Structure 1
């Protein structure tokens, strides 16, 4: 009971830190919300059951502390150099102040800490780092972001590094971390195109991450070879897991294709042809190693043992799996109907 109450306390302060950053009307208030969020998340990362969690929490704390201190330094420097603390869309200060925020969301080339941190933590904390911890920094970045060469370089580097980094990985955690780096490039692109598109992208991305992590937690798998034969007696879990992975990669007609479809259409309308080509090619790279994993799991290494087939219909949580299948498979149709209704 004490451990559960402590987790509830830190979780509530973590959410309150995110809300403080979202609702702040000054940059000092937004910085304080980021610090409350950070100091609440560090105790949730460390665990006595996992010997790598302490190392991962220390790495995460050092990186986030460096980013937060740099952000505070730049904010105070801006206040001292100008009488009125305000941001204009053409000011070069925006690029400087975005650098620590981009480090917080693991945007390339500031991505180096994310795979090593994600590798040593639990699946629940992995979900927090890949989704909830990105909300406040991305909101602050959206206040500053304009379409310039610096942002275009960040978008292209994130998409390419996130796509190529997962090619030779066998750890599911590292594959999800490099996929997150790739998706950060797409989110920055949606911020250029409109103020609300990145919320849609982050929401659908979080739904895919929830589905993947829930399926992996139910099978207690951490590496790709563990899914080869361990899921033969749980075919529905294997189906939902690989459907979620394909949706995360943006393969039609799954739900993850919808935000990429909208983003590509808006980029073509705004004549961002080169950036759209690079993002599409990076998505093809991610789909390549997703399909390579799925092909080897479903065909080459797939084998069945007769005395395991009787347990094939026993599901851990059938309602959750059916909801995941319906949302991920029919999500593009539902979202398209909603879009045409408006």
Structure 2
């Protein structure tokens, strides 16, 4: 891609997200979502093949439908209240439609079908942007309208997303699909706490994004997309392979890694608000995520593929792809749990 074109696309995508996050007018929010959606389509089709074209088409259709729901909700609310303000979402029908539209943009269940398919059909860098940056705009709107949303619908979507995010990843061997289902589950955890404590949802987001960036960066460093290729990496880069597995276990929420912190705090907050059944179900469903990450770790580290003697010493050669930001991101993704008392004080 032409560097000038790439810079223009990235600037448009960033400005679209910032427009959504800083607006208090529904029309500007809609315009920001449209800028964001149209800017990321060329990034999804950066590799010109039928699979990426199919993924971009699925993404476009889903996001366009969600934008239509969002504008319809804003117009219904305008006719009812006479206001375009985000904080004036009073009409129950408009609130339900707005929650549905934002759930479609986030990939919450039952509107999750596009997330694994789109993530699988695009390059790793585009998948990273899709699962991190593209979540910021819808989550910022949900954060602003959280007192006005339909609580029951949001909690049902959250529980379904955690369940689908766990079950969907059980039979996957493609790492991009596994990361997509993990994203669906994490979005479910964020939605479950949004009603009671929106600030804790932001904490979950602040931890989820570095973990996803670290995992995708390490996969891009080695051009790894399947569990088989990850297994063969032991001969080339044993340390990097071990770090990828630890980061994935952190994504699954295994203590004492960083990913356990938001799950622990969210369950604690739900128990304080007498949501005992909800928190217990979420904790049990989180084991599904942890299971398929543990299975990847087992198949990669404890079952060695047959190799020749020459390939067993490849790790000794210098690897040219080195990134400066990788070590601090690895530390943030795996070793933040001892800082949890500070986090509780900030809360």
State the TM bucket, normalised to the shorter chain: over 0.9
Alpha-carbon shift at residue 190 of structure 1 (Å)? 2.5
Distance 1:57 1:341, change over 3 A: closer
Deviations for 1:231-270, whole angstroms, at most 9, x for unmatched residues? 3221111111001101111111111111111111111111
State the partner residue of 1:329. Answer: 334
Alpha-carbon distance in structure 2 between the residues aligned to 1:125 and 1:318: 18
State the match for 1:265 in structure 2. 268
Which residue pairs with 1:42 in the alignment? 41
Cα distance in 2 between the residues matched to 1:164 and 1:53:
25
Equivalent residue number for residue 81 of structure 1:
80
Residues 243, 328 of structure 1: 8 Å contact kept: no
**8 A Cα contact 1:31 1:68, kept in partner:** yes
Alignment of 1:6-17 (within 5 A): 6-17=5-16
* Structure 2: unaligned runs, 5 residues or longer: none
The CA distance in 1 between the partners of 2:278 and 2:106, in whole Å, is: 20
What is the 5 A alignment of 1:165-184? 165-184=168-187
Deviates further, 64-73 or 223-232: 223-232
Cα offsets for 1:197-253 (capped at 9, x unmatched) = 222211211111111111111221111122122332211111110011011111111
TM-score by length of 1: 0.92
1:131 partnered with 2:132: yes
| In 1: Cα distance, 2:115 partner to 2:93 partner | 28
Structure 1 counterpart of 2:215, from 200, 208, 212: 212
Secondary structure, aligned partner of 2:301:
helix
Per the alignment, residue 243 of structure 1 pairs with 246
**Contact (CA 8 Å) 2:77, 2:91: kept in 1 or not?**
no
Note the C-alpha offset of 1:93: 3.0
Unpaired runs of at least 5, structure 1? none
Q: What's 1:295 paired with?
A: 298
1: CA distance between counterparts of 2:324 and 2:28? 42
Q: What is the deviation of 1:89?
A: 6.6
1:189 — aligned with what?
192
1:154 to 154, 157, 161: 157
- Please give the alpha-carbon distance, in whole angstroms, between the structure 2 residues aligned to 1:199 and 1:338: 12
Partner deviation per Cα, 1:292-332 (whole Å, 9 max, x = no partner): 11111111235564333433243442755543443333211
CA distance in 1, matches of 2:72, 2:327: 49
State the 1:114 CA deviation. Answer: 1.1
- Please say if residues 14 and 41 of structure 1, whose CA atoms lie closer than 8 Å, have aligned partners that are also in contact: yes
- In the TM superposition, what is the alpha-carbon distance from 1:48 to its structure 2 partner? 4.2
Distance 1:170 1:296 in 2: 11
What is the distance in 2 between the residues matched to 1:48 and 1:180? Answer: 23
CA distance in structure 2 between the partners assigned to 1:321 and 1:83 by the alignment: 50
Deviation at 1:137, TM superposition (A): 0.8
Deviates more, 1:144-153 or 1:161-170: 144-153
The number of equivalent residue pairs is 341
* Aligned partners of 1:232 and 1:303 also within 8 Å: no
Paired residues of 1:71 and 1:97 also in contact (CA < 8 A): yes
Aligned equivalent of 2:315, options 308, 312, 320: 312
- Compared CA separation, residues 300 and 108, structure 1 to 2 (3 A): same
